[in-house]
């Protein structure tokens, strides 16, 4: 059953101030162990992933209280203050963060993993996670991250995929050691000394590794790679957005694997 609490109408309420601080400051998210999720769909993804909802704040003028969680009603003015975007369904919640480690991953046979090194923009990381969910990727490993995994922009751009795809933040050295220990082939996306991506076998246990658009991958990843792959660039520019590149490579792996599955 839903357990409504008091009605908040003041913009100076301590809970409102804390919620806004959680949205704005990664240091506060780390300190409190809480993050903010906005929208019914995203909140349901949290619940389905087994995350614990601390408090849901809902505007009775816009929606009913979400079921099964501790809920607090707020005024339209308060909701406008705490809502990150204009098109949500009247629900914002604080949720207890859960940090997965590499050893927590439970990968199946011939897993497909995506690795992102030092990706800075939350929107790019969120878009990669959305594609990873669509492609059935087993895990996304974020190495030497420059943004935290519960950044509101990341959650929003992933449409909740950060909760549906196992996602681990770790160092590049830890990630390389993990992939090597588990027999997962490392395919680095790079222009130099590389083969066309569709000529590379992705049916085996595979990690697709991508760096930033500005500087690409660091040398430690290039040295650790089992193969270097590239997307052919036929225009005047020499690179794609990292999320677009990641989607192309993920779905090539899907294509190869489905082709094998449908062989008579």
Tens digit of pLDDT at every position of the chain (264 positions): 344 457 999 999 999 999 999 999 999 999 999 999 998 889 999 999 999 999 999 999 999 999 999 999 999 999 999 998 766 689 999 999 999 999 999 998 999 999 999 988 899 999 999 999 999 999 999 999 888 899 999 999 998 899 999 999 999 999 999 999 999 999 999 988 899 999 999 999 999 999 987 778 999 999 999 999 999 988 887 778 899 999 999 999 999 999 877 776
Q: Which percentage of the chain shows pLDDT scores above 90? A: 79
Sheet with 91-96: strands ordered across: 3-8, 70-74, 53-58, 91-96, 34-38
Q: What is the pLDDT of residue 145?
A: 84
Q: Which segments of the chain does DSSP mark as H helices, in order?
A: 14-24, 26-32, 40-48, 76-82, 122-134, 152-158, 161-164, 172-181, 219-224, 242-261
Query: Angle at CA 94, nearest 5°, toward 18 and 126?
Result: 110
First to last CA, the chain: 51
Is 3-96 a CATH 3.30.1330.30 domain? Answer: yes
Give per-residue pLDDT as tens, 168-183.
999 999 999 999 999 9
Domains in the chain: boundaries: 3-96, 102-261
* Domain 3-96 and domain 102-261 have a common topology: no
Q: What is the pLDDT of residue 86?
A: 66
What's the CATH architecture for 102-261?
Answer: 3-Layer(aba) Sandwich (3.40)
Place of tokens 């809902």: 58
What gap in Å lies between CA 152 and CA 138, rounded to an integer? 23
């Amino acid at each position: 059953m839903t357990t409504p609490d008091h009605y908040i109408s003041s913009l100076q309420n301590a809970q409102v101030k804390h919620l806004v601080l959680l949205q704005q400051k990664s240091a506060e998210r780390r300190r409190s162990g809480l993050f903010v999720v906005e929208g019914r769909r995203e909140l349901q993804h949290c619940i389905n992933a087994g995350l614990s909802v601390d408090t849901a704040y809902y505007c009775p003028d816009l929606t009913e209280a979400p079921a099964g969680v501790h809920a607090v009603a707020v005024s339209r003015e308060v909701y406008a203050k705490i809502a990150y975007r204009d098109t949500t369904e009247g629900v914002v919640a604080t949720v207890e963060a859960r940090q997965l480690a590499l050893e927590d991953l439970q990968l199946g046979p011939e897993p497909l993993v995506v690795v992102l090194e030092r990706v800075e923009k939350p929107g790019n990381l969120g878009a990669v996670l959305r594609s990873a969910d669509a492609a059935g990727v087993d895990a996304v490993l974020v190495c030497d991250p420059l943004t935290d995994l519960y950044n509101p922009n990341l959650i929003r751009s992933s449409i909740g995929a950060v909760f549906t795809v196992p996602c681990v933040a770790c160092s590049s050295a830890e990630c390389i050691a993990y992939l090597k220990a588990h027999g997962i082939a490392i395919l680095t996306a790079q222009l130099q000394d590389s083969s066309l991506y569709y000529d590379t076998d992705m049916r085996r246990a595979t990690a697709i590794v991508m760096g930033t658009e500005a500087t690409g991958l660091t040398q430690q990843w290039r040295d650790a790679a089992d193969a270097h792959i590239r997307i052919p660039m036929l225009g005047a520019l020499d690179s794609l957005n990292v999320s677009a590149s990641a989607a192309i490579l993920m779905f090539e792996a899907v294509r190869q694997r489905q082709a094998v599955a449908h062989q008579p």
